[in-house]
Amino acid sequence: MPRPTQPLVYLAGPLFTPGDRWYLERLDALCRDLGYATYLPHRDAGLADRSQGTRFFFLRDLEALQRIHLVVAVLHGTDVDSGTAWEMGYAYAKGIPVLGVVEDTRVPDPDNLLNPMIRHSLTALCRTPEEVAAALKKHAPLV
């Protein structure tokens, strides 16, 4: 449970392959090393399976989104994951900063190649974990 002065960061991104989850966990470790609390969907709500249905995961993630201070969204790929896009839109509508991170070489110029609705909902666009760390400190300072 985060301390009262510890901002809660929601890590959004595709989580369907081991590589996807590894990258999210790498960002999670970066955030925690800097002193932030995190919500990591596959860790904190689990991975969806057909026996549970999907509403449970939707409600868990939505509850977390209602408590967060900032979103870090992984934007890898030639098109943004639909769940990630929804989480970003929800945060943007609530006035919550959204940091996008693109290290994918298939997106050489994210400023111009990302969908405008995605690009212009970002508070910051980062190309490396170091840029994510700097943007976290700027947009969700630790008290």
In the chain, domain spans: 8-139
DSSP annotation of 64 reads H
Whether residue 124 contacts residue 100, with contact meaning beta carbons closer than 8 Å, is answered with yes
The whole-number pLDDT of residue 143 equals 64
Tokens of 71: 């979103």
CATH topology classification for 8-139: Rossmann fold (3.40.50)
User: In the predicted model, is pLDDT for residue 53 greater than 80?
Assistant: no
Res 99: pLDDT: 98
Cα–Cα distance measured from residue 45 to residue 58, given in angstroms and rounded to the nearest whole number? 9
What's the mean pLDDT in 120-137?
A: 95
Query: What pLDDT does residue 51 have?
Result: 66
pTM above the 0.85 mark?
A: yes
Of 2 and 128, the structure prediction assigns the larger pLDDT to 128
pLDDT at 49: 66
Q: Is 142 left (phi over 0), alpha (psi -120 to 50) or beta?
A: beta
Distance CA 69, CA 134 (A): 16
